[in-house]
Structure 1
Amino acid sequence: MTDAAATPPDETYSYLGPAGTFTEAALKQVPEAAGRPWRSVNNVGEALADVTSGRSVAAMIAIENSIEGGVSATQDALATVPGLRIVSEVLVPVNFVLVARPGTALEDVRVVNAHPVAYAQSRGWLERHLPEHGHIPSSSNVQAASSLFDPDCAADAAVAPPGITEHHDVAVLAREIGDNPNAVTRFVLVSRSRVLPEPTGADKTSLIVELPSDEPGALLAMLEQFSTRGVNLSLLESRPIGDALGRYRFVVDLDGHIADERVADALLGLRRTSPNVIFLGSYPRADQREIEYHAKYDDEIFIEARDWLRGLLSGEPD
């Protein structure tokens, strides 16, 4: 990683900073970002603005957490900022440490500084070991720790990433304080590229879909576009559109690549029935798990059906 100042934008990668965040850890897993300049930003909006303005070639952002589900700020931004594509995904195991200024003991802690998501994922541990503690929200996990050295800081300790000691002179009071040892956050690398990664057989496609109307069966009709073609959904979440109460869009992750016949056919069905379908990209799954589906949904089945119809229309003999 190098400094992003005065660097060509086609070489710069943006991420939610400062250094030491889980987002930075995710970006470290991207081979093409190695040795390139990285630009630390304050929020998802700033990261995506870097990409749309051309300031950065791509941005790493969190999109889903195994404990709390989708990251609403990211989902809403991807729905409203045009011209973006997800080109890859990364999984980062998430756990936390409790840190304090050197010389502070666990029994001295009365107030804890923590990002709201980190606090929610470690609240059980904190309530068991610090039952009378107070909480001050922080803008990021790293900022929670760095703020301990601010003269006006009212916190005695902070919930932070395990690698925080590489960046700040803090004492670790406790390790692995996350309530779920299996917690994982999914990050995506977002760019303006229209070049689709080649299908691997272990792919994911992300969409945002609006229903054509608010009436009984509208959601079922949308889901049938996938089920009748053997396409499994790994994520389905609703987010308010914002123009009226009760109006929602759906964030969808499905198994497969747009180049797969069953997926392409499902997208055609969606486009015919939904007023707005945003294609966010097809890209390799981070877990590299090969997609399984019934043989009746093989590419060859769809191709043969189209050839059969074409023959009927052209008057070819049976």
Structure 2
Amino acid sequence: MASYPKIAQSLIATMAARAADASDRAIAFQGAPGAFSHIAAQAFAPDALPLPCFSFEDAMDAVKDGRAARAIIPIENSQHGRVADIHFLLPESGLNIVAEYFLPVHHCLLAKSSGPFASAISHPQALGQCRQYLRGNHIAPINYADTSGAAAFVAESDDAGLCAIASRLAGELFGLDIVAEGIEDADHNMTRFVVLAESADDPLPGNGPVMTSMIFEVNSIPAALFMALSGFATNGINMTKLESYIRGGSFAAAEFYADIEGMPGDPPVDRALKVLAYHSKWVRILGSYPQALQRV
């Protein structure tokens, strides 16, 4: 909490106290009050008590420490791609993905004056999602830990040439003017969140489409990835996402993150996973959960 501007600290302390009184209802998120993760938490679980955390690790630790029942974490954006480091943090947390949520993201330019502005402060994801707007208005981007914390920073700053990119809620919480709204570069701007919990909560059969997320590392032989994924094709399993990433600074072998439609226990999925395991050094299921948005 000490890393946030003072104007945000009192709000964080109040929300943390409420969550501490009913940790079974708490849902941890990364960011100061008014962050898009805060908005996602409220929309996903309206009766929950949002618990602000400074980092993704802090939000996950809140679940592991029993201070929150769940955490809601952004993993990708339709415009700016994967959220940095999330593929490392998810498996390292030891938590299970139990749900997903999609939040349309609309950015505001927030300030204490009408400008002109020399620089805008925000999370790198938000700055990337508003890159064309910033370039078109000759505003230099400045990275900050999260969008709402950036709004709080501007609220306490005396720099008339500084603005923040954050949500309308952040502007309301910290008393900033909305200079411009909807400044994201694409109308389809949407962030996908996953909900994490200590215990897996596999969806019941027949309750609608199910997603399963996993990570794996294939054997270091020619065509290993092709052979490892062949089971999904031959068993009619739709793989909606496949991304590679490098761990530990080594370029010798990549690890992969994948989302599929279906879950372990479905015979076609089990057959596909058996092929994947045969051609992989290891496979780890991160969770099976109801599909929140149809993949087409």
- Calculate the TM-score normalised by the size of structure 2: 0.87
Q: What is the rounded CA distance, in whole Å, between the counterparts of 1:100 and 1:206 in structure 2?
A: 40
Q: Which amino acid aligns with 1:127?
A: R
Give 2:120's aligned residue.
112
3-state SS of the aligned residue for 1:72?
coil
Q: Which of these residues, 166, 172, 178, is aligned with residue 166 of structure 1? A: 172
Q: Which amino acid aligns with 2:172?
A: E
- 8 Å CA contact 2:155–2:175 kept in 1: the answer is no
Q: Deviations over 1:272-300 (max 9, x none)?
A: 3322211011111112x3x89xxxxxxxx
Q: Deviations over 1:26-70 (max 9, x none)?
A: 112334xx4343211011111111222333211000011111222
Structure 1 or 2, whichever has the larger Rg, is 1
Q: Which amino acid aligns with 2:109?
A: L
Q: Deviations over 1:236-266 (max 9, x none)?
A: 0011121622321100001122232211221
- Superposed, 1:36-47 pairs within 5 Å as 36-47=48-59
Q: What is the rounded CA distance, in whole Å, between the counterparts of 2:249 and 2:180 in structure 1?
A: 46
Q: What is the rounded CA distance, in whole Å, between the counterparts of 1:227 and 1:72 in structure 2?
A: 29
**Structure 1 residue 152: Cα displacement:** 6.5
- 8 Å CA contact 2:215–2:283 kept in 1: the answer is yes
3-state SS of the aligned residue for 1:237?
strand
Q: What is the rounded CA distance, in whole Å, between the counterparts of 1:80 and 1:242 in structure 2?
A: 13
Q: Which of these residues, 244, 266, 282, is aligned with residue 276 of structure 1? A: 282
Q: Which amino acid aligns with 1:123?
A: R
Q: What is the rounded CA distance, in whole Å, between the counterparts of 1:134 and 1:69 in structure 2?
A: 22
- 8 Å CA contact 2:99–2:195 kept in 1: the answer is yes
Q: Does 1:89 align with 2:95?
A: no
Unaligned segments of structure 2, at least 5 residues: 1-13
Q: 1:195 to 1:159 in 2, by over 3 A?
A: closer
3-state SS of the aligned residue for 1:282?
strand
**Structure 1 residue 178: Cα displacement:** 0.5
Q: 1:180 to 1:262 in 2, by over 3 A?
A: same
Q: Does 1:247 align with 2:253?
A: yes
Between 233-242 and 255-264, report the one with greater CA deviation. Answer: 255-264
Between 146-155 and 34-43, report the one with greater CA deviation. Answer: 146-155
Q: Does 1:138 align with 2:138?
A: no
Give 2:5's aligned residue.
none
Q: Which of these residues, 2, 26, 46, is aligned with residue 12 of structure 1? A: 26
Q: What is the rounded CA distance, in whole Å, between the counterparts of 1:43 and 1:143 in structure 2?
A: 12
Q: What is the rounded CA distance, in whole Å, between the counterparts of 2:172 and 2:264 in structure 1?
A: 42
Q: What is the rounded CA distance, in whole Å, between the counterparts of 1:78 and 1:198 in structure 2?
A: 23
Give 1:98's aligned residue.
109
Q: Does 1:53 align with 2:61?
A: no
Give 1:203's aligned residue.
210
- 8 Å CA contact 1:96–1:176 kept in 2: the answer is yes
Q: Which amino acid aligns with 2:202?
A: L
- 8 Å CA contact 1:236–1:251 kept in 2: the answer is yes
Count of residue correspondences: 280
Unaligned segments of structure 1, at least 5 residues: 293-318
- Superposed, 1:148-163 pairs within 5 Å as 148-151=154-157, 156-163=162-169
Q: What is the rounded CA distance, in whole Å, between the counterparts of 1:257 and 1:154 in structure 2?
A: 53
3-state SS of the aligned residue for 1:146?
helix
Q: What is the rounded CA distance, in whole Å, between the counterparts of 2:251 and 2:124 in structure 1?
A: 27
- 8 Å CA contact 2:134–2:141 kept in 1: the answer is no
Identity of aligned residues (%): 31
- 8 Å CA contact 2:154–2:163 kept in 1: the answer is yes
- 8 Å CA contact 1:201–1:256 kept in 2: the answer is no
- 8 Å CA contact 2:71–2:196 kept in 1: the answer is yes
- 8 Å CA contact 1:229–1:266 kept in 2: the answer is yes
Q: Which amino acid aligns with 2:34?
A: G
Give 1:297's aligned residue.
none
Q: What is the rounded CA distance, in whole Å, between the counterparts of 2:96 and 2:237 in structure 1?
A: 21
Q: What is the rounded CA distance, in whole Å, between the counterparts of 1:255 and 1:20 in structure 2?
A: 33
3-state SS of the aligned residue for 2:169?
helix
- 8 Å CA contact 1:141–1:161 kept in 2: the answer is yes
Q: What is the rounded CA distance, in whole Å, between the counterparts of 2:157 and 2:48 in structure 1?
A: 35
